[in-house]
Structure formats: structure tokens, C-alpha cells
Amino acid sequence: MSSKNYQEELFEHFKYPCNKKSIENPDFRAGQDNPSCGDKVAIEGKISDNKIVEVGFSGSGCVISQAATSMLTEYCKGKTVDEVLALTKDDILNLVKIELGPNRLKCALLCLQVLQEALLTFKSAKK
Amino acid sequence: MDFKKIRSDFPIFSKIEQMGRKFVYLDSAATTHKPQQVVDSIVDFYTLHNANVHRGLYDSGEHATALYEGAREKVAKFINAKASSEIIFTSGTTESINFVAQTWAVNNLKSGDEILLTQAEHHANLLPWQRVAKQTGAVLKFIPIFCHPELDSGSIQINAPEHLVTPRTKLVAVTYISNVLGDIWNQGQLENLIKNAKAQGAKILIDAAQAVAHRKVDVQALDVDFIAFSGHKMFAPTGIGVLYIKSDLHDQVEPYKLGGGMVHSVSFESASWAKSPHKFEAGTPAIAQAIGLGVAVDYISQNLNFDQIAEHEVFLYKKLLSELVKIKKIRIAGNISEAEPHGSMVCFTVDGVHAHDIAGYLGGKGISVRAGHHCAQPLVKLLGFESLVRVSFGVYNTEQDVDTFVTELTEALKFFGAL
């Protein structure tokens, strides 16, 4: 990994993150940290007609963990809960558009784990 | 010592450069590279001598046994053990410490007994004792690591650790050199602690993983009962490590594993053990790796001199430190104010940039450094960090390595907007 891996779009998302805000009365919320490197991500949002209509995040950590969260929160807007629950590692890699070795993959995937945890909790609470 | 010649003994440097890639390796505290002699010994074993040990009454079986036991004798001499039966081969430091925890400690400690550690232990010398404490009711006590408050770059100090030794101290299990802070003991401090603890009847275990490639480890001079270290941090293969158990304790320590090769006699109902070291080495051992460790010991004895290694590393350390302190937002963890530091590693962080981003950027430039909590989460938190970049030296590192690192670190910090 090098400057070329920190491709411009990713780096812009780190410097000027999208959706780094809190949401009032969120329908879903979850947060996790990765103690092995200190990355922290919490995501919350609102759902209407089973679609994500508002989303915000807070967090701190490395460029990849924070930029991926910014990108994912942009990407998930307007998607249904099940569409987001079906996202995989490959979808995140397509979003961040960089190659990641096994040691950095967990930085990029933290946001997906958090978002899916939040949506699963939302779904099971609804039942 | 000819450091240029020594570097050329490690084939990985020239091989990677021949492939047209830059290779600046500053992560020897994680694992060292292997000299050609060690690599050859593995190939030779599997091409010429492959056989199980202590079994076959044929040439290769005898030869493999002689090589394997020869490696044990070399290791015994290397750490100045009284007898080679005091050297137990394990898979590494982690297994060696778990071995003592689950054999000697669980059988000899009881509720209220104390185990004395430092706050600077690697998880491998912390978690096994947490488990023993749960199993036996023993209590863990920690020698505090102090940061000098008047120095913003945290100089590290241990004050009078022997005062923490009590009549209830049954075991002192401490690191020789920290994998985060480097040297933590002042001159004579560890020796004093050992003397005081022994006077109270405590046993001593030293985690020497970070020491063996950097200084002479002498089990008799230190007067310890157990020493643990790994081969791969001293130029030998992975998968092989050492547990030194002082002869006096061989009868008190139960075998860690049971199975082939460790018995005197067996009936359907019971068994009696062979003598050490075989009592402690059930199953087919890591034969080639043990032989490789023996060759690494030969390499050190024949080519390296610990005083000169220390001098070389302190030179690199001071050069690196003189550059690092110029960086405004840097915070360094370690003994940087000491007049004569032991220089095998430096850990630092730069405000505003995550350690993983620095290490990731440098990795892309062919520079290998470690970033994270270094398997010492409580220590890193105690020192007020979340994550640290670690630069650690080996005997093969050069002044050029430090220059390249500093240049690329500066570029990284500019890239991430911290300069």
C-alpha cells in the first residue's frame, strides 16, 4: 500500500467525510471498535418504507476505516434494508477501489459490519 | 565485525533488490531474517537426513537424532545452561510460557499467592498468568512503568521493583527487553529484583524473546528458573523455541503434553516419565527447525559479537531519534532521555495520523515497520496511545535504512497533512 493505494477519492472522503453527523431519533444504530488498531465506527439512521432515508456516522481511526464508512453511508442511501444486508466484502472493495491485504481488509470492512449489525437489530425489533 | 559482510549473509536483501524492489526491513522485533546457513540447514535436512528422532536404528535415523540433540547442546552453551537436559524445545516463547503456567504454576500456586509481572508485558507473558490466577486464586501484581511527567516524550522508568516482592510472591515473570519500549530495566535493577525474590523463595521466569538476538543471555548469571524465547527472533526458523527449566525443578514440573517419546514405561493403566528433556517433549518435535536453531546459534557465535551489535544498534537508534525529535507532532514512547540507550527499537506516533496509515504508506515504499498495539494493549493504553509505529533494528540494518525511512516518513506525513 502506498500513496497510489490511497487513491484520491478515498482520501477526499477521509478529509471531507460525507454524513459525519448525528441523526435525531434514529431507527437503527450500532457501533463497534477494532481494539487491534483503534478504529471506531458508529452508524445511525432513519428508515421509511423499508428504505434507508437518512444516515449519519461518527468515528475515528485510519484513513481506510473512516473513508470507507463515508463511502458506504453515501452508497446505502435509498437502498432497502435487505439490499444493504446482502452487501459483501466485494461490494466494499468495489466502493473503495483499492487493493487491500488481509491485514488492512478489516479496516475497510468495519463499517459494513456496523451497518449490518444495526439493520439486523432494527429488523428483529420490528418483528 | 564486518556489517556489510553480515548483511550479505542474509539472502533476502539481495534477492529482493535483484527483483528491482526496494527493501528496507525495520521489523526485526517481529521476526528476524535468516542467514543463508540457516536456510541451507533446512534444505540439507530434508534432502539428506530426513528421519524421525530417537527412533530409527538406521543411518539417517541416528544422524537426525545426533543433529537434533546437537542443536540442544548448542543452545545450552549459548545461554550458559549447566546441562543440555535443561533445554526444552517448544514452538516458541508463547508455548514456553503457557507450558510453565499450566504445569509448574497451576500445581504449585494456591489462593493468595502472588505472581509479579511488569506493566510492560507482551500478551504472551500476561494472559497465561491471568488464567493461572483464575485457576488457583493467585493474585497478579504489576511493577508500574512510570513516564517522566516533565518530559513530553515519555521517558520510562521503573522504581524500586523489589519493594513489591512479599513473602507471598511465588513467581516473578518479567520481560528482559520490552517489545514496545525496548530496555526498561536500569543497570542492575532486574538482577536486584531476582535476588530479592529468590530470598523470599519465589521462582523466576524471564521472557527473553526480544533479548536473544541483541544481548548475551546467561541463565546462571541471571540466576533464573525458567527462560523463554523464540528461534525466529534470533535468525532461526519459525516453529521452534526454547524453554529453559533449571535442573532442580525437573521433578516439580509435570509434562505439558503426553504421548510418544516421553515415557519410561507404560501399562494399560498408568505410565512413568522419562527424564528431562524427553519427559517434556511428547510427539515428533520440529526437527528441521531445531537443527536450524542450532545453526543460527553457530552463526551468532562465529560471526557476531553482542557488544558490537549493541554499539551498531545504538548508533542507528541515535541517528533515527535525532531525526524523529525534529518532527513537531511526534510522540515517542521509550527511554529516549537515557545517556546510553539500548537501541533495538523506537515506538512513536504522530498526532493527527493513524499509525496504520503511516505503516501502510511506508509499506508501499518498500519499508517494513510494524503498527498497532504490539500485543501489549494495556501498556499502550497506559502510556496514553491507541496505536504506535515501531521501528526495530537487526544486525543487518544500515545507516542507509534509517535515511530512507526518515525521508519516506517525511513524505508520508506531508501526504497525510501532518507536516
Window 96-125 of A, Cβ < 8 Å to B:
104, 107
pLDDT at B368: 98
Backbone angles phi, psi at A42, to 5 degrees: -130, 135
pLDDT at B155: 57
pLDDT at B336: 61
Within 8 A of A107 by CB-CB distance, chain B residues are: 356
Within 8 A of B363 by CB-CB distance, chain A residues are: 1-2
Distance CA B5, CA B275 (A): 43
Task: State which residue of chain B sits closest to A3, comparing Cα positions.
Answer: B361
pLDDT at B339: 46
pLDDT at B386: 85
Q: Which domains does chain B have, with CATH numbers?
A: 3-30+305-415 (3.90.1150.10), 42-302 (3.40.640.10)
pLDDT at B154: 46
pTM: 0.92
* CB within 8 Å of B349: residues ≥ 6 apart: B330, B331, B333, B355, B385, B386, B387, B388, B389
Nearest Cα neighbor of B143 from B94, B92, B178, B101 is: B178
Question: Between chains, do A62 and B377 touch, taking CB under 8 Å as contact?
Answer: no
Distance CA B192, CA B160 (A): 9
Q: Over the stretch B223-269, which tens digit does the pLDDT of each residue have? A: 999 999 999 999 999 999 999 999 999 999 999 999 999 999 999 99
Q: How far is CA B33 from the centre of its chain?
A: 14
pLDDT at B341: 58
In terms of Cβ atoms closer than 10 Å to its own Cβ (0-12, 13-18, 19+), residue A99 is exposed
State how far the alpha carbon of A123 is from the alpha carbons of A69, A89, A126, in Å.
Answer: 21, 21, 5
pLDDT at A8: 82
Asked if the C-beta of A3 comes within 8 angstroms of chain B's C-beta atoms, the answer is: yes
Q: Over the stretch B126-144, which tens digit does the pLDDT of each residue have? A: 999 999 999 999 999 999 9
Distance CA B13, CA B163 (A): 47
**A59 vs B372, residue with greater confidence:** A59
Asked if the C-beta of A12 comes within 8 angstroms of chain B's C-beta atoms, the answer is: no
Which residue from B354, B364, B386 is facing A5, i.e. has the nearest CB?
B364
The DSSP letter of residue B27 is: B
pLDDT at A64: 93
Task: State which residue of chain A sits closest to B362, comparing Cα positions.
Answer: A2
Strand ranges of the sheet holding B87-90, from the earlier edge strand across to the other edge? B87-90, B241-245, B226-230, B203-207, B169-175, B114-118, B139-143
Q: Over the stretch B292-351, which tens digit does the pLDDT of each residue have? A: 999 999 999 999 999 999 999 999 999 999 999 899 999 888 766 554 556 789 999 999
Distance CA B113, CA B170 (A): 6
Provide the pLDDT confidence category of residue B82 given band limits of 50, 70 and 90: very high
Domains in chain A: boundaries: 8-126
pLDDT at B342: 61
Question: Could you give the maximum distance between any two Cα atoms of chain B, in Å?
Answer: 72
Distance CA A78, CA A97 (A): 22
Asked if the C-beta of B188 comes within 8 angstroms of chain A's C-beta atoms, the answer is: no
Asked if the C-beta of A85 comes within 8 angstroms of chain B's C-beta atoms, the answer is: no
Question: Between chains, do B377 and A35 touch, taking CB under 8 Å as contact?
Answer: yes
Question: Between chains, do B361 and A62 touch, taking CB under 8 Å as contact?
Answer: no
pLDDT at A1: 44
Residue B320's identity, in one-letter code, is L
Distance CA B310, CA B208 (A): 16
Task: State which residue of chain B sits closest to A101, comparing Cα positions.
Answer: B360
CATH number 1.10.3720.10 is the correct assignment for the domain at A8-126: no
Catalytically active residues of B are 375
Q: Is B50 within 8 Å of B63 (Cβ atoms)? A: no
Distance CA A55, CA A19 (A): 7
Within 8 A of A38 by CB-CB distance, chain B residues are: 354, 373, 386-387
Picking from A14, A33, A40, A62 by the largest number of B CB atoms within 10 A of its own CB, the best residue to mutate is: A62
Asked if the C-beta of B368 comes within 8 angstroms of chain A's C-beta atoms, the answer is: no
Which residue from A2, A37, A61 is facing B365, i.e. has the nearest CB?
A2
User: Could you read off the pLDDT tens digit of each residue along chain A, which spans 127 residues?
Assistant: 445 556 788 889 999 999 999 999 999 999 999 877 778 999 999 999 999 999 999 999 999 999 999 999 999 999 999 999 999 999 999 999 888 888 888 899 999 999 999 999 999 988 7
The DSSP letter of residue B98 is: H
Residue B209's identity, in one-letter code, is A
Distance CA B327, CA B256 (A): 49
Which residue from A4, A35, A62 is facing B356, i.e. has the nearest CB?
A62
Q: If you search the block for the grid coordinates 514452538, which residue do you land on? A: B91
In terms of Cβ atoms closer than 10 Å to its own Cβ (0-12, 13-18, 19+), residue B227 is buried
pLDDT at A2: 47
**pLDDT above 70 (res B374):** yes
A and B: number of Cβ contacts within 8 A:
52
Residues of chain B with pLDDT > 90, as a percent, come to 81
Question: Between chains, do A2 and B361 touch, taking CB under 8 Å as contact?
Answer: yes
Q: Over the stretch B141-167, which tens digit does the pLDDT of each residue have? A: 999 987 654 454 445 678 788 889 999
Task: State which residue of chain A sits closest to B413, comparing Cα positions.
Answer: A3
pLDDT at B391: 96
Asked if the C-beta of B364 comes within 8 angstroms of chain A's C-beta atoms, the answer is: yes
Within 8 A of A15 by CB-CB distance, chain B residues are: 417
Query: How confident is the model over B42-56, as a mean pLDDT?
Result: 93
Is-cis flag, bond preceding B277, omega within 30? yes
Task: State which residue of chain A sits closest to B368, comparing Cα positions.
Answer: A1
Q: Is B352 within 8 Å of B417 (Cβ atoms)? A: yes
At residue B272, the 3 state secondary structure works out as strand
In terms of Cβ atoms closer than 10 Å to its own Cβ (0-12, 13-18, 19+), residue B142 is middle
Nearest Cα neighbor of A108 from A44, A46, A62, A55 is: A62
Which residue from B387, B411, B416 is facing A37, i.e. has the nearest CB?
B387
Length of chain A, please?
127
Q: Is A11 within 8 Å of A62 (Cβ atoms)? A: no
Asked if the C-beta of A1 comes within 8 angstroms of chain B's C-beta atoms, the answer is: yes
